[in-house]
Structure 1
Amino acid sequence: MRALSTAATGMMAMELNVQVISNNLANMTTTGYKRQRAEFQDLLYDHVSRVGTQTSAQGNMLPVGIDLGSGVKTVGTVRLMTQGNLTQTGNQLDVAIRGDGFFKVQLPDGTFAYTRDGSFNMDSQGRIVTPQGNVLQPAITIPPNSTGLTINAQGQVSVIPQGSTTPQILGQLQMTRFINPAGLLPMGDNLYQETPASGTPIDGLPGTDGAGDLQQGMLEQSNVDSVSEITNLITAQRAYEMNSKVISAADQMMQSVSNLMR
C-alpha cells in the first residue's frame, strides 16, 4: 500500500526536523551560534490521470487530474544569520560584531576559517587567539606589561606600553564578508569554512562597505529563540505522531483485506 511508504517519508523528515531543533536548543548559550531550520519539499507524483487530458472528440478536457504524491524529502538545513543579542562581559579581549561579517582566523594547517565568536585570549607570544589557539588574522601581538588595551568600533587595536602614557596602535582588525554567508560550511568550534556556495571571502575594515562594527567588552549571543524552538518541536512531534497513525490505519486496512481472503 502506497500510504505506508508515504507516511514513512513523513516520519523520517520529522525525525530529522527534531534533530535540527535539538541542536538549536543545545546551542542556546553558544557564543555567536546561528540557528538552523530544516526545509522540505514534496516528492515525485504519480499522474494517474493528467489534468487537461482530452476526453472527447469535441475537445472536452479534464478540469482536474488524479495525482498521487509519494511523500516528502529534506532539501536543506538553512542557517539563519540574523544578529544575536550583545551581552556585556567587561573582558577587554571580548569583541562582538554588530552587523555583517566574520573574524578571520588561521588554522594549524595554514588554511583560514571564519567565526562570529569574539571571545579571544592571548597565547604565550602575546598574539590574539581563539579559545582553541587559532591566531586571529591579521595577527596582532600585544607587548608584555602593556596596559589599556583598546579595540575601537573600527577595529584599531591600541595599548599603553610600559613606561609610557601615550597609546600605541598595534594593528587593525579586519572583517570578512560573504555574498551568501548561509552557504558556509560549519566545522564545529564556532568555525566556518568557505565553499563555492558561500562565494569568495571579501576582506574589509569594520564599519565600512556593509561590514559591521566592533564592540569591545561584549559578546554576541546565540540567535536561538527558545519559545519558537519549543513550538517547532511540538509541531514536529505531532506531525510524526500523525504519520505513524497513517501507518497504523494502512496496516488495519490491509489486515481487513487479508481477513476477507480467508
Structure 2
Amino acid sequence: MKALGTAATGMLAQQTQVDVIAHNIANANTTGFKAGRAAFQDLIYQTARREGALTGEDGAARPVALDIGLGVQATGVVRSATQGGLTATDNQLDLAIDGRGYFTVTRPDGSTGYTRDGAFNLSATGEIVSLNGDLLQPTMVVPDNATRVEVSPDGQVMAYVGTEVQPQVLGRIELATFVNEAGLKAVGDNLFLESAASGSAVPVEPGVNGAGVLRQGYLERSNVDVIKQITDLITAQRAYEMNSKVMTTADQMLQSANQIR
C-alpha cells in the first residue's frame, strides 16, 4: 500500500508551507521584506497499465492509463516582487525605492550585496551606510559641517554645507536591476546576493530603463498581506490534517488485512 508514503510526503509539504508562512508573518514589519510562496510539484508515477494497450482480440485499446502518483515535493520558494507601501519618517537619509531595483552595498568582507532596505545613516567618517554598517555604493562622504542632505528622485545626493546657499553635489545613487529577481540568494540582514539564476546586476540610474525612483524621507514596508497569510495557514493546517487522516485510514486497512485468518 503506497498511501502511507504518499500521505507522508503531503505532510512534509504542508510543514514546508507552514514554515514559509511563519517566516512571512514574522517579517510583516521588516523594512523592504518580500513575502515568499512555497511551490510544489507532484512526484513520479508508477504505471500499472498503459494507455493504448490492447484489451481484446478485436483490437480494442485502453483509452486511459492506470497511473498511481507517489505524492508531492517542494520545489522552491518564490518571492513576490510587488511594491510595499511607503511610510514617512523623520530621517533625511531614509530612502525608499518606488518601483524596481535594489540598493547596492559593500559588505565588510568586500562582497557586494543588494537590498530594498533604505534605512541609511552616517558612519563615523561621514560615509552613508546601512544599519549593518555596509557602505552604500557608490561611496559618498557627507561633510562634517553639512546642515542638510537632499536626495532627488533620480538619485542625486546634495549637501548644504555651513552657510553656503548652493548645495554641494556628493554623487548619484545607482540602483541594480536583475532579469530574474526571484533568483537572488537571500542571506539575511535584508540582503540578497547575485546568483546564477538571477543573472548579473545591471546598474541603472533611478527612473531610467524601468528602474524605480527614490523617495527621500520614506521607507518601504513589507509587502506581506497578513490576512492572506492567515488564510493560507488555515488551508495548510487542514491539508496537513487530511494527510494525517489518510495515514490513519491506511494503517487501519493494513491492520484489518493482517487480522484476516
**Who is 1:21 aligned against?**
21
Equivalent position SS for 2:40:
strand
Q: Does 1:9 align with 2:9?
A: yes
Unpaired stretches in structure 2, ≥5 consecutive residues = none
Aligned mates of 2:14, 2:51 — CA distance in 1 = 31
Equivalence for 2:113: 113
Aligned positions of 1:1-262 closer than 5 A: 1-261=1-261
The normalised TM-score by structure 1 is: 0.98
The one-letter amino acid of 2:97's match is I
Distance 1:234 1:190 in 2: 28
Question: 2: distance between equivalents of 1:18 and 1:64?
Answer: 36
Moved over 4 A (4+): none
Query: Which sits farther off after the overlay, 76-85 or 15-24?
Result: 76-85
Give the Cα separation in 1 of the matches to 2:169 and 2:64.
73
Q: Which amino acid aligns with 1:15?
A: Q
CA distance in 2 between partners of 1:54 and 1:145 (Å): 89
Aligned-residue offset at 1:57: 4.4
How many residues matched? 261
**Could you list the runs of 5+ residues in structure 1 that have no partner in the other structure?**
none
Counterparts of 1:54 and 1:143, CA distance in 2: 85
**How far is 1:51 from its partner?**
1.4
Q: CA deviation at 1:54?
A: 2.4
1:164, CA displacement in angstroms?
1.2
Deviations 1:233-253 (A, max 9, x none): 000000000000000001111
Taking the aligned partners of 1:77 and 1:59, their CA distance within structure 2 comes to 48
- Percent identical among aligned pairs is 51
Q: How far apart are the structure 1 equivalents of 2:186 and 2:118?
A: 17
Shift of 1:148: 2.2
Higher mean displacement: 249-258 or 211-220: 249-258
Q: Secondary structure at the match of 2:259?
A: helix
Aligned-pair CA distance for 1:8 = 0.3
The CA deviation string for residues 198-223 of structure 1, in whole angstroms up to 9 with x for no partner, is 00000010000111000000000000
For residues 51-100 of structure 1, the C-alpha deviation after alignment (integer angstroms, 9 at most, x for no partner) is 12222344321112211110000111111111101111121010000000
Partner Cα separation in structure 2 for residue 63 and residue 181 of structure 1: 44
Counterpart CA distance in 2 for 1:165 and 1:18 is 57
The residue identity in structure 2 corresponding to 1:54 is L
Q: Which TM-score applies when normalising by structure 2?
A: 0.98
**Amino acid paired to 1:178:** F
Distance in 1, matches of 2:146 and 2:59, equals 89
Q: 2:40 and 2:59 mapped to 1: Cα distance?
A: 38
Mapped to 2, the partners of 1:50 and 1:89 lie a distance apart of: 65
Q: Distance in 1 between matches of 2:157 and 2:75?
A: 43
Which one-letter code corresponds to 1:193 in the other structure?
A: L
Separation in 2, partners of 1:147, 1:58: 94
SS in 2 for 1:260: coil
